[in-house]
Chains A and B, each alone.
Chain A
Amino acid sequence: MMVVISAFSVIYFTHLNRQTTSGLEILLTERDELDIEWRNLLLEQNSLAEHSTIESKARKLLQMKRPNINSEVIIQQ
């Protein structure tokens, strides 16, 4: 009787183990895919947020300008 219980529990836990392993592997693959996506998004961000692009956009589209020294006020504690 004990032998039968032991045999079936071995079967059950092996099954459980295999299911968990496959679940882990699926998550790892997902991680790799997300990493690839992240790298591509980084590239996109970098090309969109290039300093000179931002500066020319700020000047042309938003009519922004650098403050000159007279409009700067320095506060010291």
Chain B
Amino acid sequence: MSKLVKKQIDKQQISVAWRFYVVVGLIVLVYAGLLARSAYIQIIEPDMLKKQGDMRSLRTAAHTVQRGSIVDRNGRELAISVPVETVWADPKIIMENNALAMKEHWQALADVLGRNVNKLTSRIVKNPSKRFVYVERKVSPAMAKYIKELKIPGIHLRKESKRFYPSGEISAHVVGFTNVDDKGIEGVERVYDQLLTGTDGEKQYRKDAKGRKIEILSEQASTQPKDIVLSIDQRIQAIAYKELKGAVKAFKATSGSVVVTNAHTGEILALVNSPSYNPNNRRNTAIHRFRNRAITDFYEPGSTLKPLTAITALEFGSVKADSIIDTSPGWMRLGGRRVSDPINRGKLSITDILVNSSNMGTTKLALSVPKEFLLNKFFDAGFGEETGVGLVGESSGIMHDRQRWSKFELATLSWGHGVAATPLQLARFYSTLANGGIKKPLTIIKKDTLDTIPLRDVRIFSEQSSEQVVGMLENVVNEHTPNAKVEGYRVGGKTGTAIKAFAGGYGNEYVGLFAGIAPISNPEIVVVVVINEPGGDLYHGGEVAAPVFSRVMKGALRVLNIAPDAKRVADVRPVVSEEQPTMKVKQEQADA
């Protein structure tokens, strides 16, 4: 019996030890397995899991940069980019989710877009396997929010940028426009395209389960574009455009241009053309409307160039400001060609020559100086060269640089024929006169924002003779061109009427011009008006262009707050107190 028990115990002990080892072995194996697995994950192949993790938490966001704005000298926006949303559909997702069953939602979508719901859905039904269909491009943010709230599966929004031109056709030629890809293709938009374009930034970040950004991993900063500040004053620009448009219509002209410049700085305050176009919607616009005529088209400036002949003679010293020139008998022959005035005007002073626009007088003035001197002054005055404004398509007009000039050709030059200039070149010459003989390059960019341009001022006339000629121009307006007068201001200027030349001669079309300066006591503003091919009975520069000049000049002087110089200044200093008025004026200055 005891033998049997002992045997059983032995057997038990043996079996217990065996099981124990198995269990221990298994546990060791499990741990070894875990160890091996974690070692495998951690050391041998960690990349796969990292990738999986990143897929769930790592995101990249693009930061799009809007195109820079173009503003006028007072900071009013002339071109501005606004982010808008484009609605697009993914027909495949729509079909998969059977989203077309949401009838009311689709009706709402069609209503907000102002479309027919059947047309809208049929486009999607037609292309069930496509992944991208535009629904509506460039919708307003409010609309986009509404569409987002509809939550139709497969209808998505995408950010795009749209360029607006708040000033519309008024500044269309100066500002220009961009194409669909936001690249400038006309005007300032094109010239300063690089400055206006920024580069998009990118940001890589980690998000948590709730979609919050918790860690910024890398950031590629976007470069902000620059805003362009033009020298244009939108208020003057609006006045000029309104007057020009009215005149072009009233005189049935084919086109017209007005240029307003600041005589001291060479800044262009206004540059308008008619006909113009709407830059916000350029569909169905005739190509010729896009042309910035004030810089691309050139005309024979006619009598508006006579002051240049006069100043040339004064500069050379062949005549004095008070010299008398005998123009009788009112005609002369030069190399077989006839130069004549309408009537025999007899003895004229230089002022009278300009007032009466005597061809005989300017011919005599032109022939009183050496040929080279005359031609050089014409070139110096900026004819035949660009004005420095740097806009696309600028023409430098026609001014022949040749050795042989007959006397008759010199004579025609003296009254502004045989030379062609853009309205901008004419404005530059008058600006030079108004600026005391110092020629400056014209600019469309506000001066104090652009200090990179080196000073390129050249003195081409003496101060004395410039002032003399400007004074003569005042007499021209007072005695000969009442249409150009501006109430309260002393104004000087010269009319011009040129017969349009075409291949082989002169036709029946005219160009009416007026170029003028105000206020004479301290010239600030130059206005040049060109009315091309007036179709009515009136065609003379004094009749078609001078009234426009007068109104534009009046508006510009008012806007710029230039004190009237023709009127006697009222002395209203009160006797009671000397202190108060000074204070008040100072207050006003501070307010301004």
Q: Are A and B part of the same complex?
A: yes
A75-B585 contact in complex given A18-B215, A22-B214, C-beta closer than 8 Å? yes
A42-B582 contact in complex given A18-B208, A51-B238, A75-B570, C-beta closer than 8 Å? no
Q: In the assembled complex, how far is the CB of residue A65 from the closest CB belonging to chain B, in whole angstroms?
A: 13
User: From residue 436 to 495 of chain B, which have CB atoms closer than 8 A to chain A?
Assistant: 487-488
Let me know if B212 is at the binding interface, CB within 8 A: yes
Let me know if A6 is at the binding interface, CB within 8 A: no
CA distance A76 to B573 in the complex (A): 8
A25→B564 contact, CB < 8 A = no
A39→B83 contact, CB < 8 A = yes
A73-B581 contact in complex given A18-B215, A50-B167, A52-B238, C-beta closer than 8 Å? no
CA distance A51 to B82 in the complex (A): 22
Chain A residues contacting B83 (CB-CB under 8 Å) are 36, 39
CA distance A26 to B205 in the complex (A): 13
Chain A residues contacting B567 (CB-CB under 8 Å) are 69, 72, 74
- Total number of A residues with any Cβ neighbor in B under 8 Å: 27
A43-B80 contact in complex given A21-B215, A25-B212, A72-B488, C-beta closer than 8 Å? yes
Chain A residues contacting B80 (CB-CB under 8 Å) are 39, 42-43, 46
B569→A50 contact, CB < 8 A = no
User: From residue 26 to 63 of chain A, which have CB atoms closer than 8 A to chain B?
Assistant: 26, 36-37, 39-40, 42-43, 46-47, 50-52
Q: What total of A-B pairs shows CB separation below 8 Å?
A: 78
User: From residue 13 to 27 of chain A, which have CB atoms closer than 8 A to chain B?
Assistant: 17-19, 21-22, 25-26
Offer 9 A-B interface pairs, CB within 8 angstroms, sorted by A: A18-B214, A42-B80, A43-B82, A43-B164, A50-B167, A52-B242, A66-B558, A74-B563, A74-B569
B216→A76 contact, CB < 8 A = no
Tier of interface size on chain B = 35 or more
Let me know if B377 is at the binding interface, CB within 8 A: no
Chain B residues contacting A42 (CB-CB under 8 Å) are 77, 80
Within the complex, which residue of B76, B81, B212, B235 is in contact with A46, where a contact is CB–CB below 8 Å?
A: B76
Let me know if B149 is at the binding interface, CB within 8 A: no
Let me know if B234 is at the binding interface, CB within 8 A: yes
- List the B residue with the shortest CB-CB distance to A33: B141
CA distance A75 to B239 in the complex (A): 27
Q: In the assembled complex, how far is the CB of residue A40 from the closest CB belonging to chain B, in whole angstroms?
A: 6
A47→B166 contact, CB < 8 A = yes
A22-B212 contact in complex given A43-B166, A51-B235, A75-B570, C-beta closer than 8 Å? yes
B141→A36 contact, CB < 8 A = yes
- Given pairs A25-B212, A52-B238, A74-B567, 14 additional interface contacts (CB within 8 A): A18-B208, A39-B80, A40-B141, A43-B82, A43-B166, A46-B76, A50-B238, A51-B235, A68-B487, A69-B488, A73-B572, A75-B570, A75-B572, A76-B569
Let me know if B571 is at the binding interface, CB within 8 A: yes
- B residues with CB within 8 A of A: 66, 76-77, 80-83, 140-141, 164, 166-168, 205, 208, 212-216, 234-235, 238-239, 242, 487-488, 558, 563-564, 567, 569-572, 581-582, 585
Chain A residues contacting B238 (CB-CB under 8 Å) are 50-52
- List the A residue with the shortest CB-CB distance to B234: A51
Chain A residues contacting B571 (CB-CB under 8 Å) are 76
- List the A residue with the shortest CB-CB distance to B83: A36
CA distance A42 to B81 in the complex (A): 11
Chain B residues contacting A46 (CB-CB under 8 Å) are 76-77, 80, 166-167
| Closest A-B pairs by Cβ, 3 of them | A46-B166, A18-B214, A22-B212
Chain A residues contacting B581 (CB-CB under 8 Å) are 75, 77
- List the A residue with the shortest CB-CB distance to B241: A52
A73→B582 contact, CB < 8 A = no
Chain A residues contacting B572 (CB-CB under 8 Å) are 73, 75
A50-B213 contact in complex given A39-B81, A42-B80, A73-B570, C-beta closer than 8 Å? no
Q: In the assembled complex, how far is the CB of residue B483 from the closest CB belonging to chain A, in whole angstroms?
A: 17
B213→A25 contact, CB < 8 A = yes
A77→B212 contact, CB < 8 A = no
A21-B77 contact in complex given A43-B164, A73-B572, A74-B563, C-beta closer than 8 Å? no
CA distance A38 to B136 in the complex (A): 23
- List the A residue with the shortest CB-CB distance to B582: A77
